[in-house]
């Protein structure tokens, strides 16, 4: 279902799509294990998407992305997809857990994700062999 939701059409042949599916699926299941409400789950998935889009589309450095995440989570800045009336969407403990999760899942591997989105890749050569 996540594959359909993310509109991944080349999952079997695209390493990038496979990594994105893994990233979002792991995040979704982590949030479910945290017993987030539907609104919290949606907000968490927005944060995952926000951090990844900052890297992939906006070419943000790790430091800039961390600053943007801090603003988004503190309510100072809102993500594009986030127009929330409740600035206390997550408890302090949940917010700390979310930050820890993002550090482990994305920020610790930032260079690898940068390469995934911005690294120059050569076209594969397919032959009869």
A 10 A CB-CB count for 119 gives 10
Compute the CA torsion angle 16, 19, 21, 22 (nearest 10 deg). Answer: 180
pLDDT tier at 119 (50, 70, 90 boundaries)?
confident
> How is the chain split into domains, by residue range?
37-76+88-119
Q: What's this model's pTM, rounded to 2 decimal places?
A: 0.77
> Of the spans 8-17, 34-43, 74-83, which averages the highest pLDDT?
34-43
pLDDT at 16 (0 to 100):
84
Using pLDDT thresholds of 50, 70 and 90, give the confidence band for residue 6.
Answer: confident
């Amino acid at each position: 279902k996540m594959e359909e939701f993310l509109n991944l059409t080349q999952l079997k042949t695209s390493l990038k799509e496979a990594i994105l599916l893994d990233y979002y699926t792991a995040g979704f299941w982590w949030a479910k294990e945290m017993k987030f409400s539907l609104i919290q789950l949606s907000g968490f998935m927005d944060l995952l998407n926000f951090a990844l889009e900052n890297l992939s589309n906006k070419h943000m450095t790790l430091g800039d992305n961390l600053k943007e995440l801090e603003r988004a989570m503190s309510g100072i800045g809102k993500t594009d997809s986030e127009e929330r009336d409740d600035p206390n969407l997550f408890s302090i403990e949940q917010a700390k857990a979310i930050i820890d999760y993002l550090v482990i899942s994305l920020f610790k591997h930032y260079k690898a994700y940068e390469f995934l989105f911005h690294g120059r890749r050569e076209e594969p050569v397919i032959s009869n062999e």
